[in-house]
Amino acid sequence: MSTTIPIGVLGASGYTGADLVRLAIAHPAMKIAALTANTYAGRTMAEVFPHLGFVELPCLTTIEDADWGAVAAVFCGLPHGTTQEIARAVLARHPEVKFIDMSADFRLRDPATYAAWYGHPHQAPELQAEAVYGLTEHYRAAIRGGRLVACPGCYPTAALMALVPIVAAGAIDADDIIIDAKSGVSGAGRGLKLNTLFSEAGEGLSPYSVGNHRHAPEIEQEVSRVAGHGVTVNFTPHLIPMSRGELVTCYVRLAGVTVDGLRHILATAYRDETFIHVAPAGTLPQTQNVRGSNYVQIGVVADRIPGRAIVIAVLDNLVKGSAGQAIQNFNLMFGLAETTGLTQQPLFP
Amino acid sequence: MSTTIPIGVLGASGYTGADLVRLAIAHPAMKIAALTANTYAGRTMAEVFPHLGFVELPCLTTIEDADWGAVAAVFCGLPHGTTQEIARAVLARHPEVKFIDMSADFRLRDPATYAAWYGHPHQAPELQAEAVYGLTEHYRAAIRGGRLVACPGCYPTAALMALVPIVAAGAIDADDIIIDAKSGVSGAGRGLKLNTLFSEAGEGLSPYSVGNHRHAPEIEQEVSRVAGHGVTVNFTPHLIPMSRGELVTCYVRLAGVTVDGLRHILATAYRDETFIHVAPAGTLPQTQNVRGSNYVQIGVVADRIPGRAIVIAVLDNLVKGSAGQAIQNFNLMFGLAETTGLTQQPLFP
Amino acid sequence: MSTTIPIGVLGASGYTGADLVRLAIAHPAMKIAALTANTYAGRTMAEVFPHLGFVELPCLTTIEDADWGAVAAVFCGLPHGTTQEIARAVLARHPEVKFIDMSADFRLRDPATYAAWYGHPHQAPELQAEAVYGLTEHYRAAIRGGRLVACPGCYPTAALMALVPIVAAGAIDADDIIIDAKSGVSGAGRGLKLNTLFSEAGEGLSPYSVGNHRHAPEIEQEVSRVAGHGVTVNFTPHLIPMSRGELVTCYVRLAGVTVDGLRHILATAYRDETFIHVAPAGTLPQTQNVRGSNYVQIGVVADRIPGRAIVIAVLDNLVKGSAGQAIQNFNLMFGLAETTGLTQQPLFP
Amino acid sequence: MSTTIPIGVLGASGYTGADLVRLAIAHPAMKIAALTANTYAGRTMAEVFPHLGFVELPCLTTIEDADWGAVAAVFCGLPHGTTQEIARAVLARHPEVKFIDMSADFRLRDPATYAAWYGHPHQAPELQAEAVYGLTEHYRAAIRGGRLVACPGCYPTAALMALVPIVAAGAIDADDIIIDAKSGVSGAGRGLKLNTLFSEAGEGLSPYSVGNHRHAPEIEQEVSRVAGHGVTVNFTPHLIPMSRGELVTCYVRLAGVTVDGLRHILATAYRDETFIHVAPAGTLPQTQNVRGSNYVQIGVVADRIPGRAIVIAVLDNLVKGSAGQAIQNFNLMFGLAETTGLTQQPLFP
């Protein structure tokens, strides 16, 4: 490819940042120009992530030392709460830069909801208003023209791919949605926490943040939008002893459609989508099918309770649930083929 | 202890049989007199299960070669479908023997339901009628006087411990119960199956038997009994990359009680139970807490959807979900303290 | 790329075959024209390997039904023992086809050694004589001109990358080499075996085939070649509870060089190699660093026993240990850049 | 049992302390009187280790607040470096208390070796001189009469059980011993470290501390003692993706005995030992066989290199490798049957 686009990564020392780098290396139109990680500034990526030590990469720098004027796009993998001020600073000085945020800072559109769930007022409300929600398949036009894209959380990506078309079609009761969610441990990040130690998370299964996980309001925001009214969902996450992968089991009440009709709505909605596959009747998604890839697989099964159905979606939390979707959005924003750099097949076993 | 009770184990080469043997070795009133496993007859347990090779045990024999007259109790860990005729044969010749079945053969009381789910008429309908359902804490009196006890499946044990008291109290809508269930791989047994290979089940998460798992009618049988009418439940199992452990996340609609009220009903129901613990508000059960033990832990959490709650229960599928509950029933049937041989604490990490 | 080369895969239903397909999909110069798997003939790859269900692939056929005349290269992932006759048949009818064998059938050059380790005389001794050993970095010229390439076993690839340069240089005592080897479970294949069940292999560690693993004579053949005399090595494999990855810890006695000198020999030998990385002093290889990639990482550490050193090598057993090296050889045989289709970075976590 | 012995546990918030508590609960002659954990003082064990929340236990206190006069024995699971001063303080005020140390502080008898490996002079050299090395089967008489017992590290326990009898018998060359060691992640403790996160340690295999692990001098101290001269061993540890379990593969050079002769020496040495099992020829130890138990299993295999052999030993690092051996020593010190409270069979799967 004749053109390469220089990019920078904020927060390259987290799992999300690292997977962005992994995918960017394979992207034919990207050139990694800056990698920041304040606590590791001056170190090489090989020291921080030995699996990325086989290719040449810029050294890690502080955020302050990176030359944001030299990049066309910034991917941000910082923890939530820190992104908003940095985004404001970067965009104030370099308004032409595209900012693709993988953190949670710009996902919630309503300032009051943000403040309620994150415990403080938003520090860059004007950007919050500008941000486009980066659920690619459902916000394509806005992303294409956007400057600041807030990539969805991993759980919301999985849940919304399953739910948005069927809620929009009025095929299920939006007020009776139960989302039993299961995630691999990498979703908790690379920070040191007791519950993500191997000996704690291994050989066991734990529900967590039941009733108060911050992905709940994000799911509700988007389901409400297509439902046409404010919706509260059940969202119950569980920690699974695997590194990557996420599965949501959505229990829904049918509204005048059959189970096959429900599947048909999803299959039709995603008919032309490369990354979203609706499984035929009888096939159940499993996270093994999508590991390391940008694919989402959705399955629809009849419930034994009449009038109900089960919709299951899987993805890799670090790819379609984060860095992969970010690159998909980048491709849109820069006029590239949407699948550029994302056609790597799943790694199994 | 002055008295020891000779026991036999049918199907000692499966995980359920092996865990029965592990617990029986530690049981002060049991003497293992016979171990059968037709395909391994003539072999030692050390050959079949090296972890049981540190103590003296009888060699494995065929079912035919075992001396059932010499045992006071038979534990059966055979696959479903094979138990019923063997039970009939053993009990016909040795009517005084106690038969504690860990297979599925005698769990369903209704012959038509059995035939519908297992694909053939029951071969010992008179015993099916006699069998006592071995959910210890809820069938104590009948078990004490019983001769043939059908120990519940692992999933039903977990689900029913959570649901029976609250359905019986009318505290939830019995017709709107969703049971999202997660199990470790040992629940699938020691048979050779593609989906339980390490490389297939590891680092991944799979729903399976959605809508047609045989534990569904068993749960429905017992929920219906306390509900007072026929109930259909949603029961959706998932395979988790861990060997032992089971967790059910039950989504229920409250019927005139608060979440705290719901927890109070469970806490009261199990107040005097050694093995069933209801966690205080704010504490979430996890399978790591009960690994290798006979404990069940139950937690109750508010749903974000008003009027709904989440009830979570965990157990070790091979202990309280099978061999441990079988021994608990044995203790009742032989007039021993119910916790005899079962006080081993969980193994963590 | 204007030219695409049609390939066929024998044994596409095994892990090796599947990983070949995964990599072939990403290869810009390959077109998958035939996939065989006798027991699954007529099925789609999506049914056999759901993770390969997102792209169009030919249906599985029997070996007999595949049109070998339509392919330029055959990759063979059949179990050992079955390949030799099939290779003979294919090459007899289509002598211009390149045959890249990932099975064990053509690795041992000495017919007597083959017969001794595999229990029967070789069925295609003329091809055995023709076969080139496909350890790419060490047999490049012969592979380029070869028609039948016998890709090394996964363990030999790891061990030989570590040992060949230092034995060839006379830097270690070739008669005192101990190779403690550790492999993930996928190395045992997708066949149904008790010891590769999740509940058996998980949470545990087992030595296996100690003293009689068939990779020992293969390692000895190649070490002997560069040593200039017949060498016997210790080779002790262990099964590790992970799906992919292999690590060999080689204990060697130094012959007149220092540890740094030993590292320098390796670094020099692989200076221009894309896929073989010698870690700087102080850095230890780990399998996580190479998962899913074609890289080998080698580290050299001083032993506390004077005059001895430890050489550690890691690779992904299904990539550089099998399908990746096969494609690397294919690239050589077809005059392509050697890294074509193999630049995918490791997947971590 | 009519008599119960009050014990205290220093450092009850680590894995070693927790496993001591687990075993102490099952011990018929122990009463847990004090549990300390300075950072968790005031909390219940159920909060710190939910799996120990099913029985009544004392609350955690600071070390200062514990009443050491009320206990007959103290088990110490503190990190190394902190134990020595606390042991001195406790024993100065309560000289009759038995102090059973599971930390590393008193294992090395030579003050210079201690200082060299731990980076500071020993703070309680008089106790260092008094301490008995708690490798039960090899120091039984001294332990029986000891007041301060330094329980061996987990790796040394495994390695020494395999090596001491054969070195003592002169059956192997003590100067050519290579110990390739593999451990589960719990051996690294409950502290927060990057390399023990689930996503880091899972699905991968890493050598660590090669050439500088502190268990090396401990192994050398004991091997030297029976060899009759100063010995340096190779000791190379690897981190394995499992929580519990440890395996050492010892590569040894035979000195005038056959492989069967070597096995016979071990079998004879441990003939009357309940916890040390020497496997028959053809049987390979695996960590799964001993999980959760106090057993050690040892196997002896011929090397393909003439004149060499492989000795493999497995144990559970938290039981025979730590808390179990501590209790075994306690039993000796208090005149109880040595197996009291330790007969729990391994948990598999």
Q: Do C244 and A51 touch (CB under 8 A)?
A: no
Which residues in chain C have their CB less than 8 angstroms from residue A289's CB?
Answer: 50-51, 53
| Nearest CB partner across the interface for A207, out of B233, B251, B284 | B284
Nearest CB to A210: which of B206, B284, B314? B284
Mutate which of B22, B45, B51 to disrupt the D interface (most D C-beta within 10 Å)?
A: B51
User: Mind telling me how many Å the CA of B14 is from chain A's nearest CA?
Assistant: 20
Given a contact cutoff of 8 angstroms between Cβ atoms, the answer to whether D290 and D299 are in contact is no
* Residue-wise pLDDT tens digits, C10-38: 999 999 999 999 999 999 999 999 999 99
User: At residue A190, what is the residue type?
Assistant: R
Residues of D with CB under 8 A from a CB of A: 15, 184-186, 190, 192-194, 196-203, 241-243
Distance CA B214, CA D201 (A): 37
Distance (Å) from the alpha carbon of C11 to chain D's nearest alpha carbon: 26
pLDDT tens figures, D276-325: 999 999 999 999 999 999 999 999 999 999 999 999 999 999 999 999 99
Asked if A180 and B287 come within 8 Å (Cβ–Cβ), the reply is: no
Sort out which chain A residues have CB atoms less than 8 A from C348's CB and list them: 18, 22, 49, 51
**Interface pTM (ipTM) of the complex?**
0.96
Q: Which amino acid is at A349?
A: P
Q: How confident is the model at residue A1 (pLDDT cuts 50, 70, 90)?
A: very low
What is the SS3 string spanning chain A? CCCCEEEEEECCCCHHHHHHHHHHHHCCCEEEEEEECHHHCCCCHHHHCHHHCCCCCCCEECCCCCCHHHCCEEEECCCCCCHHHHHHHHHHHCCCCEEEECCCCCCCCCHHHHHHHHCCCCCCHHHHHHCEECCHHHCHHHHHHCCEEECCCHHHHHHHHHHHHHHHCCCECCCCCEEEEEECHHHHCCCCCHHHEHHHHCCCCEECCCCCCCHHHHHHHHHHHHHCCCCCCEEEEEECCCCCCEEEEEEEEECCCCHHHHHHHHHHHCCCCCCEEECCCCCCCCHHHCCCCCCEEEEEEECCCCCEEEEEEEECCCHHHHHHHHHHHHHHHCCCCCCCCCCCCCCCC
Cα angle for residues A279, A281, A284 (degrees, 5° grid) = 55
Question: Catalytic site residues of C?
Answer: 154
Residue in chain B lying closest to A177 (CA): B305
Q: Which chains lie within 8 Å of chain D at 3 or more CB pairs, if any?
A: A, B, C
Contact C178 D251 (CB under 8 A): yes
Between A81-90, A327-336, D159-168, the lowest mean confidence (pLDDT) is in A81-90
Q: What distance in Å separates the CA atoms of residue C313 and residue C277, rounded to the nearest whole number?
A: 10
Residue C43, both tokens: 């099925």
pLDDT of C1 reads 44
Rg (CA), chain A: 20
Residues D154-176 pLDDT 10s: 999 999 999 999 999 999 999 99
Of residues C53, C345, C349, nearest to A54 (C-beta): C345
Asked whether residue A81 carries a pLDDT value surpassing 90, the answer given is no
Q: Which of the residues C197, C240, C242, C317 would you substitute to probe the B interface, choosing the one with the greatest number of B C-beta atoms within 10 Å?
A: C197
pLDDT attached to residue B120: 95
Low-confidence spans in chain D with pLDDT less than 70: 1-2
**Cβ B196–C199 below 8 Å, yes or no?**
yes
Query: What is the rounded distance in angstroms from the CA atom of residue A91 to the CA atom of residue C318?
Result: 45
- Smallest CA–CA distance, residue D124 to chain B, in Å, is 33
Pick from B179, B185, B198, B203 the residue to mutate for testing the A interface (most A CBs within 10 Å): B203
* Cβ contact, residue pair D197, A203, below 8 Å: no
Q: Sketch out chain D's domains with CATH numbers.
A: 5-130 (3.40.50.720), 155-317 (3.30.360.10)
Token duo for residue B280: 């205080």
- E-strand stretches of A85-177: 98-101, 132-133, 148-150
CB contacts < 8 Å between B and C, how many? 59
Alpha helix segments (H runs only) across B27-178: 45-48, 83-93, 111-118, 125-130, 140-145, 154-168
Average pLDDT value for chain B: 97
pTM of the model: 0.97
Contact B15 C199 (CB under 8 A): yes
**Contact assignment for C202 to B202 by CB distance below 8 Å:** yes
Counting as low any pLDDT under 70, the low residues of chain C are: 1-2
CA distance D242 to chain A (A): 8
Q: How many residues does chain B have?
A: 349
Residue B249 in 3-state DSSP?
A: strand
pLDDT of residue D80: 87
Q: Chain C partners of D251 at a C-beta cutoff of 8 Å? A: 178, 180, 234, 236, 251
Predicted confidence (pLDDT) at residue A54 exceeds the cutoff of 80: yes
Nearest to D241 among C234, C241, C306 (CB): C241
Nearest CA in chain B to C197: B197
pLDDT tens-digit series, residues B179-219: 999 999 999 999 999 999 999 999 999 999 999 999 999 99
Low-confidence ranges of chain B (pLDDT < 50): 1-2
**Hey, which residues of D are catalytic here?**
154
